[in-house]
Amino acid sequence: MTIDADTIRHLSEVSVSVELQTEDMTLNIGPQHPSTHGVLRLVARVDGERCHDVQPVIGYMHRGYEKLSEVRTYPQITTIVNRIDWVAGYANEVPFIVAAEKLMGVEAPERAQYIRLILTEMARMASHLVFMASYPLELGAATPLFFALRERERVLDLLEGVTGGRFHPNFNRIGGVKPAYGAGSSTRKMIQDLPAGFLKDTRDAMGRVLGVCDELEDLVAGNEIILARTKGVGILPPEVAVSYGVSGPNLRASGVSFDLRRAESYLPYESFDFDVITGENGDCWDRWWVRLQEIREAARIIVQAVDGIPAGPLQAKVPKIIKVPKGETYVRAENPKGEMGYYLVSDGGTGPYRLKIRSASFSNISVLPYLLEGILVPDIIATMGSLDFVLGDVDR
Amino acid sequence: MLETVLDIFDNFWVALGAKLLLVALLIPLIGMVIGFAEIKLSAKMQARMGPYFAGGRWGWAQLIADGIKFFQKEDIIPDNADRPVFKTAPMLVLVGTVALFVVIPFGPGLIFRDLSVGIFYALAISSLSTIGVLMAGWSSANKYSLIGGLRAAGQLIAYELPLVLAAVGSVIMAGTMSMSGIVEAQITAGYPYVIFQFVGFGIFMVAALAELTRIPFDMPIAESELVMGYLTEYSGFRFLFFFLAEFANMFTMSAIAATLFLGGYWLPGIPTETLEFVGPVILLAKVFLLAFAMIWFRWTFPRFREDQLQTLAWKWLIPLALANIGATAFFKVVL
């Protein structure tokens, strides 16, 4: 190569900005990858450890629940919506049932509402405990997993005792809770309330969950490496979070005090004393911390509900064949992952005409390209994990 | 009778063969003992049972069963892999480990070869496995492997320095680089060097953890990020090689640390005449103590990020190690 003035000028410019000519590499993270929580695929353009941009590719888990629910009756749909966010299956049922009840003008008895509330908070607890288990694992610490999952099992045992299912309870009926049919008229009355000893076992389990919260705080929050890995990483400013429709603990970690348990009235939360936890910086650390505190708040709510649960029937009077009058409504609820909403359109039949499911994780991971731009490869995992999404909730 | 048996070992080739056989048996044995300790201790720390059925009691045969399983597996080499390099890498990693056994003194005279530059040789040869890891990452034709291999290279280069510099303190105190010479110097002095070289010992252990690519420094493997790092494409007995090398390396690194800082095969208060017999036991006890600490860290800590690791090495450990050398040299000259 001949060196003339032009080449020298060019070379000097190049060497100032780029010392080594490097080429970007496309790194496919997923759909089969240990920490994408299932089948999320991230197409990352990386230069060594630095990641220039990330495009999430979703849809590997699309099961067509919105369409499926159009050809099912209302009582059948709870089995489907259970499987949207399978870590907190119970919590998915409630807003759908409430939407149908709202159109029908039926209201569940107070005891049923309390049971729904207790089980919803248990589902929140179970979901957040899974996060407590999996997030340190993504940072390389394997041990908190076992402590968190051990106590989650207590919570799931209680859920199973009431509903018969750990993950997919299918326990809500329009107008109440309980297995309304199929038990026979003589045994139906006996099995259709909370199991014996449930209230006492719940208090015990809440004590244990609070115990493991302290343990996890010692183990995780007291660890310098975790703090170094999460503080200041993946910062989500409140205005960005709001504009992307991020909800739930992720939104509250960014400092926005918005909780549908306060804003809506799908369950009798107004008679309970609990705090809406908010973070300060909106980084991974805050998202972890907010969820830990929410487990504690959930335990507080459950203990209050167990103390104050009213007596009474579990099922309101509804016709044998449920037909929802013509109309449309939107009911949203504060699920463990964030805002879960059902837009229900009924044409008066036994099943919905159209059901739009607004799931929290879908909106929450839409912020990934913003969060992951210019970040390091290890921080991709740290940030992605801190959003706590479930692929069933993303793809539906 | 005994003399005739011993006479046979005077033959160079017979002695060499016997030593080779000993090492060949020792490494899988040590790898299994430490590996078994790891699976059982981690189970204990995580409120689990761990292996329970293999072998009848406590699952003692679990790792033997695992080893047999690895041998039965199909030998898979990716189509695009650089085949010779891919095949050589695990051997090179294991060679780096095996060669370290040469200079570890198990007792007075119980050393395969007492090199006059023993510690220098040990630290030099331990870098050999770095090349093996880099080769594994490069030849696998897998992006995760590549990132893992390059991470390993960066990490091992960064931590080689504090490792060597931390060892220098003991070498200055002993006035020799021979491994058995260092132990003898500690016997003469009457105290293990860790009393004055505690900074060096700490740095050495941190750097050794990084050399071993164990948590909190396991970025080259980093399961949650890089699937399995440079090991992603390895399976079967090639994977077993890496696996064995990891646990055998834990042993050798702990043994070097024990020799340099904890008095090796000697313990204060043990009469020196009996060391020929109790020496290996003492060394093993110290090694397992250090290996326990490594296992404990592994199941307690998360992993650092790559840049935090480099910061730790270059901004903290190396200056600290240099200051330690300066202080040691100063006191050696003054006192």
Q: Could A225 and B218 be called an inter-chain contact, meaning their C-beta atoms sit closer than 8 Å?
A: no
B47 interface with A at CB cutoff 8 Å: yes
pLDDT value at residue A181: 46
**Which residues 172-201 on chain B approach chain A with CB closer than 8 angstroms?**
none
Of B46, B222, B305, the CB nearest to A229: B305
Is A25 part of any domain?
no
pLDDT value at residue A395: 84
Q: Could A137 and B224 be called an inter-chain contact, meaning their C-beta atoms sit closer than 8 Å?
A: yes
Is A37 part of any domain?
no
pLDDT value at residue A180: 42
With beta carbons under 8 A apart, name residues in chain A contacting B47. 146-147, 150
B86 CB-near residues (< 8 Å, 6+ apart): B77, B78, B135, B136, B139, B140, B233
Is A379 part of any domain?
yes
Distance from the Cα of B304 to chain A's closest Cα (Å) equals 6
Is A88 part of any domain?
yes
pLDDT value at residue A16: 52
Rounded CA gap, B22 and B96, in Å? 17
Q: Could A225 and B225 be called an inter-chain contact, meaning their C-beta atoms sit closer than 8 Å?
A: no
Is A276 part of any domain?
yes
Of A27, A28, A140, the CB nearest to B224: A140
- pLDDT tens column, B102-130: 888 887 777 777 778 888 888 888 888 88
B222 interface with A at CB cutoff 8 Å: yes
Rounded CA gap, B183 and B279, in Å? 11
B42 interface with A at CB cutoff 8 Å: yes
For residue B307, name the pLDDT band (cuts at 50, 70, 90): confident
B69 interface with A at CB cutoff 8 Å: no
Of A35, A223, A225, the CB nearest to B224: A35
Ordered per-residue pLDDT tens for chain A, 396 residues: 556 777 666 665 555 555 556 677 888 887 888 777 778 888 888 887 888 888 888 888 888 888 888 888 888 888 888 888 888 888 888 888 888 888 888 888 888 888 888 889 988 998 999 988 888 888 888 888 888 888 888 888 888 888 877 888 888 888 877 754 444 555 555 556 677 777 888 888 888 888 888 888 888 888 888 888 888 888 888 888 889 888 888 888 888 888 888 888 888 888 888 888 888 888 889 899 999 999 998 998 988 888 888 877 777 777 778 888 888 899 888 888 888 889 989 888 888 888 888 888 888 888 888 888 888 888 888 888 888 888 888 888
Of B46, B216, B303, the CB nearest to A146: B46
pLDDT value at residue A9: 65
Q: Per-residue b/e over A170-208, b at no fewer than 16 CB within 10 Å?
A: bbbbbbbbbebeeeeeeeeeeebbbeeebeebbeebbee
**Would you list which residues of chain A are within 8 Å, Cβ to Cβ, of chain B?**
25, 27-28, 33-35, 48-49, 136-143, 145-147, 150, 223, 225-226, 228-229, 376-381, 385
pLDDT value at B320 more than 50: yes
Distance from the Cα of A229 to chain B's closest Cα (Å) equals 7
Domain ranges of chain B: 77-334
With beta carbons under 8 A apart, name residues in chain B contacting A229. 302, 304-305, 308
Q: Could B303 and A223 be called an inter-chain contact, meaning their C-beta atoms sit closer than 8 Å?
A: no
With beta carbons under 8 A apart, name residues in chain B contacting A147. 46-47
pTM of the model as a whole: 0.84
Distance from the Cα of A23 to chain B's closest Cα (Å) equals 14
pLDDT value at B277 more than 50: yes
User: ipTM of this predicted complex?
Assistant: 0.79
Strands A354-358 and A375-376: unpaired
Domain range for A92 is 54-395
With beta carbons under 8 A apart, name residues in chain B contacting A379. 305
Q: Could A378 and B150 be called an inter-chain contact, meaning their C-beta atoms sit closer than 8 Å?
A: no
Q: Could B224 and A379 be called an inter-chain contact, meaning their C-beta atoms sit closer than 8 Å?
A: no
Distance from the Cα of B151 to chain A's closest Cα (Å) equals 9
Q: Could B216 and A225 be called an inter-chain contact, meaning their C-beta atoms sit closer than 8 Å?
A: yes
pLDDT value at residue B6: 66
Q: Could B306 and A378 be called an inter-chain contact, meaning their C-beta atoms sit closer than 8 Å?
A: yes
Q: Could A48 and B218 be called an inter-chain contact, meaning their C-beta atoms sit closer than 8 Å?
A: no
User: What CATH number corresponds to the domain at position A68?
Assistant: 1.10.645.10
How many beta-carbon pairs below 8 A join chains A and B?
82
Overall average pLDDT of the B241-245 stretch: 83
3-state secondary structure of B110: strand
Distance from the Cα of B3 to chain A's closest Cα (Å) equals 55
pLDDT value at B282 more than 60: yes
pLDDT value at residue A182: 43
Q: Per-residue b/e over B269-282, b at no fewer than 16 CB within 10 Å?
A: eeeeeebeebbeeb
Cross-strand pairs, A356: A343
